[in-house]
């Protein structure tokens, strides 16, 4: 079999990225309250990875993991995703399946990044209190620990069906308060540095270029 030319490789690589972006938009259209949520999480995850100094391919993997981290919500009824007010216990348990469902959706695709693990682990917490596996500390991928923080920052800063936006200050206070318990302390420090000392704003995440 002849090797792919560089131009064909670049074309396939770009098509893969665009496909993942299209999947992300599909998830967003089902939930108007979290429209563009995945893109903002991806952008913040990428900014954190760059600040750490990870290589270009690893940074891209973090971005793509963030871009599809909620893909499992495709299987959650829209009336539950968009319902105002608190969910009951059964509905909350159903929402929590999205991490494992998302992993299952992409598990058979041989990406050059551990995207399935990132999707599966973005709600895990250092002390084992997260889901779906109750992983602890180093059992959680470094990329997943970044995305967990990016997800919390955006979720708290954005309007949800059951509450108004809490704002960036509340979100930063949350990760700082639980640094070392729920969230990776090194990743927390990186996130705080970006917002408090590098001038990053939530608006920057909205306009961040995809790749």
Residue 4 backbone dihedrals phi, psi, to 5 degrees: -65, 140
Contact 113, 64 (CB under 8 A): yes
| CA–CA gap between residue 10 and residue 32 (Å, rounded) | 33
Q: How do the residues of the chain divide into helix, strand and coil, expressed in percent and rounded to 5?
A: 65, 5, 35
Of 73, 103, 123, 125, the catalytic one is 73
| CA–CA gap between residue 173 and residue 151 (Å, rounded) | 14
Q: Confirm whether 96 is a catalytic residue.
A: no
Contact 191, 26 (CB under 8 A): no
Dihedral class, residue 46 (left if φ above 0, else alpha if ψ from -120 to 50, else beta): alpha
| CA–CA gap between residue 190 and residue 148 (Å, rounded) | 13
Cis peptide, bond prior to residue 132, ω within 30 of zero: yes
Catalogue the active-site residues: 73
């Amino acid at each position: 079999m002849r090797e792919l030319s560089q131009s064909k490789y670049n074309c396939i690589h770009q098509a893969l990225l665009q496909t993942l972006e299209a999947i992300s938009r599909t998830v967003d259209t089902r939930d108007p309250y979290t429209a563009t949520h995945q893109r903002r999480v991806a952008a913040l995850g990428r900014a954190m990875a760059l600040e750490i100094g990870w290589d270009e391919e690893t940074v891209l993997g973090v971005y793509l993991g963030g871009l599809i981290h909620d893909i499992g919500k495709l299987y959650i009824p829209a009336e539950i995703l968009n319902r105002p007010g608190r969910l009951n216990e059964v509905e909350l348990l159903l929402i929590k399946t999205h991490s494992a469902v998302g992993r299952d959706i992409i598990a058979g695709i041989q990406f050059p990044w551990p995207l399935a693990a990132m999707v599966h682990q973005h709600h895990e917490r250092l002390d084992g209190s997260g889901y779906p596996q109750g992983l602890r500390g180093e059992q959680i991928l470094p990329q997943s620990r970044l995305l967990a923080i990016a997800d919390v920052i955006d979720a708290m800063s954005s309007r949800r069906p059951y509450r108004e936006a809490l704002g960036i200050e509340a979100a930063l206070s949350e990760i700082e308060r639980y640094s070392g318990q729920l969230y990776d302390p090194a990743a927390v420090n990186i996130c705080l540095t970006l917002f408090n000392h590098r001038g990053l704003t939530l608006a920057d995440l909205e306009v961040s270029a995809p790749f």
